[in-house]
Amino acid sequence: MDEINKLKEELELAKREVRCYQKFTALSSNVFIVVNRNLEIVEYLNESEYVYNNRPSVGTHLNECVREELGSKLAKKLSRAFSTNKRVKFEVTVDTKKEDSMWFSVAIGPEGDLASILVEDISSIKQKHKREIENDRLATLGVMTGGIAHQFNNIHNVVLGSLECLSFIEDQESKNDLVEMAILNIKKASNLTHRLLHFARPSDREVVLEDLEKLAKGAFEFVEEQFENFRSEFIIDNKISQDNFKVKVEAALIEQVLINIYINGLHSMVDENDREVRVCIHADHDSNQLYCDVSDKGCGISSSDADKIFTPLFSTKGEFAQDNSGMSSLRGTGLGLSISKKIMKEMSGDLKLLSTGRTGTTFRLSFPLVVAGEVSPDSNDSEDEASTPPNDLKVMIVEDSIENRNLVKFYLSALPGANVKEYENGDVPRDELESFSPDYILLDWLMPEVGGDVFLSRLAKWNPDALKKVGVITGNVNEPSLDKWKDDVKFVLKKPVTRNNLISTLLN
pLDDT digit string (tens) for 201-237? Answer: 655 457 788 899 999 998 898 888 888 888 899 999 9
**Which secondary structure element, helix H or strand E, spans residue 21, and what is its range?**
helix 2-26
Predicted pLDDT at 162: 86
For 151, 205, 211, 248, 260, the CA distances from 141, given in Å and listed in that order, are 15, 16, 22, 23, 11
Predicted pLDDT at 475: 80
Produce one character per residue of 268-301: b if its CB has 16 or more CB atoms within 10 Å, e if not.
Answer: bbbebeebbbbbbbebeeeeebbbbbbbbbbbbb
pLDDT classification of 13: cutoffs 50, 70, 90:
low
Task: With a cut of 50, say whether residue 296 has pLDDT above it.
Answer: yes
Instruction: Supply the DSSP symbol for 327.
Output: G
Higher-confidence position of 70 and 436: 436
Name residue 280's beta-bridge partners. Answer: 237, 293
Predicted pLDDT at 417: 78
Which long-range CB contacts under 8 A does 349-355 form with residues at least 24 apart?
Answer: 349/247, 349/249, 351/257, 351/310, 353/301, 353/306, 353/309, 354/293
User: Beta 102-111 vs 88-94: how paired, if at all?
Assistant: antiparallel
Task: With a cut of 70, say whether residue 143 has pLDDT above it.
Answer: no
Give the chain's domains with CATH numbers.
16-121 (3.30.450.20), 129-371 (3.30.565.10), 385-507 (3.40.50.2300)
Condensed to tens digits (0 to 9), the pLDDT of residues 355-370 reads 999 889 999 999 998 8
Cβ proximity of 221 and 189 under 8 Å: no
Cα-Cα-Cα-Cα dihedral sign, residues 226, 353, 276, 322: positive
Cβ proximity of 314 and 283 under 8 Å: no
430 vs 463: CA distance, rounded Å: 10
Predicted pLDDT at 253: 87
At 228, is the secondary structure helix, strand, or coil?
Answer: helix
Task: With a cut of 80, say whether residue 195 has pLDDT above it.
Answer: no
Predicted pLDDT at 24: 43
Residue of 216, 508, 375 lying closest to 493 (CA atoms): 508
244 vs 209: CA distance, rounded Å: 10
pLDDT classification of 378: cutoffs 50, 70, 90:
very low
Cα-Cα-Cα-Cα dihedral sign, residues 447, 449, 454, 455: negative
Cβ proximity of 356 and 262 under 8 Å: no
The one-letter amino acid code at 284 reads: D
Predicted pLDDT at 326: 66
209 vs 368: CA distance, rounded Å: 11
pLDDT classification of 170: cutoffs 50, 70, 90:
confident
pTM for this one? 0.54
Question: For residue 50, what are the contacts with CB-CB under 8 A and spacing of at least 6?
Answer: 29, 67, 94, 96, 102, 104, 121
Predicted pLDDT at 483: 86
At 244, is the secondary structure helix, strand, or coil?
Answer: coil
299 vs 358: CA distance, rounded Å: 5
The one-letter amino acid code at 439 reads: D
Condensed to tens digits (0 to 9), the pLDDT of residues 470-502 reads 999 988 777 788 888 999 999 999 888 888 888
Question: Residues 487, 489, 495, CA angle at the centre, nearest 5°?
Answer: 105
Terminus-to-terminus CA distance in the chain, angstroms? Answer: 94
| Extended beta strands in 205-250, E state | 208-210, 233-238, 245-249
Predicted pLDDT at 443: 95
**Phi (first) and psi of residue 472, to 5 degrees:** -90, 130
Task: With a cut of 60, say whether residue 21 has pLDDT above it.
Answer: no
Produce one character per residue of 70-98: b if its CB has 16 or more CB atoms within 10 Å, e if not.
Answer: bbeebeebbeebbeeeeebeeebebeeee
Q: What is the DSSP string of 377-442?
A: PPGGG--PPPPPPPSS-EEEEE-S-HHHHHHHHHHHTTSTT-EEEEESSS---HHHHHHH--SEEE
Question: For residue 473, what are the contacts with CB-CB under 8 A and spacing of at least 6?
Answer: 399, 408, 442, 443, 444, 492, 493, 495, 497, 502
Which segment of 124-133, 228-237, 349-358 scores lowest on mean pLDDT? 124-133
**Which secondary structure element, helix H or strand E, spans residue 142, and what is its range?**
helix 123-166
Name residue 236's beta-bridge partners. Answer: 279
Predicted pLDDT at 505: 85
